[in-house]
Amino acid sequence: MKYRVLLVPAISAGLFAFWLLLWQSRPFQGASAQAVLPPRIVKPPITIQPVFPAGYEALLQKIQAAIQQGPHFSQDESLPVYRVKPVEPQQLREQAAALANRTLARIGGGQPFSATAFTLDGNRLVARNDKGVLVRTYLPSGFLSVVNQEQLFRGRCLPLSDSQAADIARKFVAGNKIVALLANESLTLADVWRVRSQGMLASKQTSERVLNNIIVILGRQLGDKAVIGPGGRVVTFLGGSGEVLGFERNWREIDPAAVDKVRAKGPVAAARAVVAELARVFGPRPPSAQAFHIRRAECGYFAASKRKAQKFLQPAYAVHIEVEGEKMPHIAQVIVVSGGDRLLEPLAPVAAELKGQPRAVRVPLTTRDDD
């Protein structure tokens, strides 16, 4: 009896809700008489939040804070994905020879290179001239290096400041057109490294600490986003009083227009993805938050190393972590995760295929059951 009383208002409320729904989804009648399609209903993505073993929550907070401190994507920000131009072997030969010849006088001189001088060795092309200038280029990525093998990592170098060294490198790269920049691309100073040498006696007396080379690493900026990873870099080696001893270019050319768009992960989602990777490395016993250090957290378009072919430049986050315990060995790992809601291809395809497979385990040469 009691339920029958409730039945009439319930049916009325249901009918009213149905009418309201129809009203809301009616075609919009604007100033123009044109009928406009109803707004597309975008369903939120189904996300499964990984459940981490106890102890990862503290790391999650730390990683999230580190990501938030630097430039990062906003959650659901629309990010363009760029198509990488395929590498044409013949074009690469010609380009390598042209660039080597253009810079030869500064790097070491000797016989110029021709496109036919290169020897195919696996997935790379190699050529060397009479003055020890070595040219190497990798077919999967288009990576190119031209270095003076007799002078690199040797000799003495003036103690130039980072900015002095960067100036020399920038002028060299621009003057020799080492990379062709798109309208929305620029070069940034990523790092300046140094090669040093010394000697030590039994008494622990040391010789003079020699500065051998200064290495300037220029990064790639695509619009307002950085390119992260070993790709998107131009490395210049300096020696003597700032002479250029060689350069490397890991720079995948892209089409200027985006080929697709993805929705970005914000810092919260990115941190969770990083922790999910960490859980695979550390298992049920994560390092303590005290021992866990984040050396660098960055986001941008991921460009892989020279032996990996990439069809797309896609957004990613990278977190460089170190774990230092009192007795434990030092652990240093870089975790790279997608920065978007989907991937058009794996971020590092070749490595993923080989991951974790021991190549060969052979029968011992001598008997091992001698204990």
Partner 1 sequence: MRFPLLICLLCALCVLFPVLCAQGAQVGVEGVKRFPNYNAAHADDLSTLPYTFNICNGVWDELSTGHARDFYWAYTDCWEKDIRAASEGGLDSSFADNVDLFFLATHGNNWGDSVRVFYDSTQEWWISDSTKWRLGNGDLEWIAFYSCDTLPFGEIWDTCIQFFYGLHEVLGAYDTLWYGITTDEVGEDFAENLKDGWRVYTAWLYGLEDWWCDQHPLVACAEQEETWDGGDIDWPNTRIERDHYHGHGTVVSDLPHDQIYYFSYYWLEP
Q: What is the footprint of partner 1 within residues 137-156 (CB under 8 A)?
A: 149, 152-155
Q: Which is nearer to partner 1, 22 or 201 (CB)?
A: 201
- Kindly report the number of other CB atoms within 10 A of residue 364's CB atom: 8
Residue carrying the six token digits 């990984």: 50
120 contacts partner 1 (rule: CB under 8 A): no
- Return phi, psi of residue 103, to 5°: -105, -5
207 contacts partner 1 (rule: CB under 8 A): yes
Number of residues that bind partner 1 (CB under 8 A): 79
Sole window of 12-20, 35-43, 166-174, 363-371 interacting with partner 1 (rule: CB under 8 A): 363-371
Contact map string, positions 56 to 95, toward partner 1, x by CB under 8 A: ----------------------------------------
Measured from the CB of residue 123, what is the shortest distance to partner 1 in angstroms?
10
**Bridge partner residues of 293 (DSSP):** 322
The single-letter code of the amino acid at 315 is P
Sole window of 38-46, 57-65, 160-168, 346-354 interacting with partner 1 (rule: CB under 8 A): 346-354
Measured from the CB of residue 224, what is the shortest distance to partner 1 in angstroms?
20
Q: Which is nearer to partner 1, 13 or 281 (CB)?
A: 281
**Bridge partner residues of 254 (DSSP):** 84
Q: What span, in angstroms and rounded, lies between the C-alpha atoms of 324 and 147?
A: 37
336 contacts partner 1 (rule: CB under 8 A): yes
15 contacts partner 1 (rule: CB under 8 A): no
Q: Which is nearer to partner 1, 75 or 149 (CB)?
A: 149
Does residue 176 contact residue 103 with C-beta atoms inside 8 Å?
yes
Contact map string, positions 305 to 324, toward partner 1, x by CB under 8 A: xxx------------x-xx-
107 contacts partner 1 (rule: CB under 8 A): no
Name the token pair of 168.
Answer: 């020399």
Residue carrying the six token digits 């060969």: 360
Contact map string, positions 210 to 249, toward partner 1, x by CB under 8 A: x-x--x-x----------xxx--x-x------------x-
Which of 7, 202, 224, 257 touches partner 1 by CB under 8 A? Answer: 202
Q: What span, in angstroms and rounded, lies between the C-alpha atoms of 192 and 211?
A: 13
- Kindly report the number of other CB atoms within 10 A of residue 277's CB atom: 14
Residues 273-302 that bind partner 1 (CB under 8 A): 280-283, 285, 287, 295
Name the token pair of 129.
Answer: 């001239």
Q: What span, in angstroms and rounded, lies between the C-alpha atoms of 76 and 341?
A: 8
Least Cα distance to 175 among 249, 238, 102, 101 occurs for: 102
Measured from the CB of residue 126, what is the shortest distance to partner 1 in angstroms?
7
Residues 158-197 that bind partner 1 (CB under 8 A): 190-191, 193-197
State the angle between helix axes of 267-282 and 56-69 in degrees (0 to 180), rounded to the nearest 10: 140
DSSP 8-state assignment for residue 252: -
- Return phi, psi of residue 92, to 5°: -65, -40
Measured from the CB of residue 216, what is the shortest distance to partner 1 in angstroms?
10
